[in-house]
Amino acid sequence: MKWENKGHEFDSDAEKIIQSFKDHNEKIYLFGAGRIGHDIGLSMKRYHILGGFIDNNPEKQKGKLLEEQVLSLGQYLENQDRGWIVVTVAGNRENEIENQLIDLGLKKGIDFFSYEDFTMYTFPILSFYKFGILYADIAQISLTERCTLKCRNCAHGCYVVGADRKDLSIEEVYDSADYFFKYVDCVREFVLIGGEPLLYGKLADAIQYIGEKYRDKMGLFSITSNGTIIPEKKVLEMCRKYNVLFRISNYSETIKRLHEKYRQLQKVLEDNGVQYSLGNAEKQWMDYGFETVCREDEEEIARVFDACKTPCREVRGSKYYYCVMARSVSENLGFDIGKCDYMDLKSVEDKKVFFEFNMGYSEKGYLDMCGHCRGSEAVQYPIPVAEQVKVL
């Protein structure tokens, strides 16, 4: 969106959101006591507004999550102290739960929210205007653009990056974190990525510095890896010490040899007490169309940006990018555009202006790379997962 009323873009929505929160007893219940609920619950607990969890699964109702009781919907309804409900499941189950809530007369956007709408819109506004806390959903530092795989259609364009590409220096990594946390008080997930971040020679130092200074400002602190490298001892130690979640992307459907790699990696992580996640093998990716799409009409490009709502911000030194893909693809695939599509954190005029930028406002109202990207429509262009452009 284009700034029209800089510094006040959310003032009127904020009033409504704060009133609605008050009307819902200033409590939040997360419907879905799984991974998504857990991750969002971590942030909610910091604000002391988590009422508890709701789940349709009787097995889950016997236990607790984040020390909160998991209720059935019936038990929740008996409770006088009702709150906002956030549906923290994805896919078909999300529709099922939303229908359950609608059947009870509850209204989406007033009484309940999808977790995406909540974490990317309603909650950041509530957090900033009511609690004075600048909340961001996801932010990343891309330590290196080098990678051990060469996936066709890599969303960061890393398949063209050679082994001689310079990584961020460790000082740049420290600066990136310092600039980011100068403005952001709470981030749901802070991620070290690449390329393949395990190729970064000073990964342990990066984790230690960021963990020591800023761990209490993050819900999750994570590394996203393709699982081809076993971390060295010092990295494992730092991951354990700072409670880093090691996320392993699962490309074994296409690259069969990764089954064994993942098995070895899981064992090492378990032996060293490092928490990790390895999902089911990914079935398909989407093609953002970076190499085929070319739009020139500014209004159309702005529409693509507005519909996209990517959550993935990137901080790179003092530069804060709204879309990590736009920055990395432009650089790696040689578009060489959008060089000014960032906020310079050396000269932010006001914290509220930073907040609005983080929520999608800018002077232009779009990024140059949106002219070469399908954005939210990419999902209609499925492609195979991690097809290699050459055998390594």
Q: Tell me if 191 sits within 8 A of 210, measured CB to CB.
A: no
**CB closer to ligand SF4 out of 158 and 238:** 158
Binder among 17, 28, 325, 359 for ligand SF4 (CB under 6 A): 325
Q: How far is the CB of 42 from ligand SF4 (least distance, A)?
A: 26
Q: Which is nearer to ligand SF4, 198 or 204 (CB)?
A: 198
As measured in angstroms, the least distance from the Cβ of 194 to ligand SF4 is 6
Q: Is 145 exposed, middle or buried (0-12, 13-18, 19+ CB in 10 A)?
A: buried
CB of 150 to ligand SF4, least distance (A): 6
Angstrom distance (rounded) from CA 157 to CA 226: 15
For residue 299, the tally of other CB atoms under 10 A from its CB is 9
Least gap, CB of 61 to ligand SF4 (angstroms): 38
Q: Which two tokens stand for residue 131?
A: 């609690």
State in Å, rounded, how far the first CA of the chain is from the last one.
42
| Token code pair at residue 111 | 């009484």
- Shortest distance, CB of residue 261 to ligand SF4, whole angstroms? 12
- Taking the least distance from each CB to ligand SF4, the nearer of 129 and 320 is 320
192 interacts with ligand SF4 by CB under 6 A: no
The nearest distance, CB 385 to ligand SF4, in angstroms, is 9
- What tokens does 190 get? 């802070």
What is the rounded distance in angstroms from the CA atom of residue 210 to the CA atom of residue 191? 11
Nearer to ligand SF4, 300 or 350 (CB): 300
Beta-bridge partners for 86: 30, 113
226 binds ligand SF4 (CB under 6 A): yes
Q: Which of residues 32, 195, 197, 231 is near ligand SF4 by CB under 6 A?
A: 195
In the region spanning residues 304 to 323, those forming contacts with ligand SF4, defined by CB under 6 A, are 304-305, 308, 310, 323
Starting at the earlier edge strand, list the strands of the sheet with 312-316. Answer: 276-278, 244-248, 218-225, 186-193, 135-142, 312-316, 319-321, 342-344
Neighbours of 368 (CB within 10 A): 17
Alpha-carbon span 274 to 32, nearest angstrom: 25
| DSSP secondary structure letter of residue 153 | T
The least CB distance from residue 98 to ligand SF4, in Å, is 25
Sign of CA dihedral 14, 187, 348, 328: negative
Residue 352 or 374: the one with the smaller Cβ distance to ligand SF4 is 374
- Measured CA to CA, the distance from residue 38 to residue 264 in angstroms comes to 27
Residue 225 binds ligand SF4 (CB under 6 A): no
Question: CB 154 → ligand SF4: shortest distance, Å?
Answer: 3
The one segment of 73-81, 146-154, 258-266, 350-358 that binds ligand SF4 by CB under 6 A:
146-154
Q: How far apart are CA 378 and CA 39, in angstroms?
A: 26
Query: 334-373: which residues touch ligand SF4 (CB under 6 A)?
Result: 367, 369-370, 373
**Chain residues 147-176 in contact with ligand SF4, contact rule CB under 6 A:** 147, 149-151, 154, 156, 158-159
Site residues (CB under 6 A) for ligand SF4?
A: 147, 149-151, 154, 156, 158-159, 194-196, 226, 304-305, 308, 310, 323, 325-326, 367, 369-370, 373, 375, 386
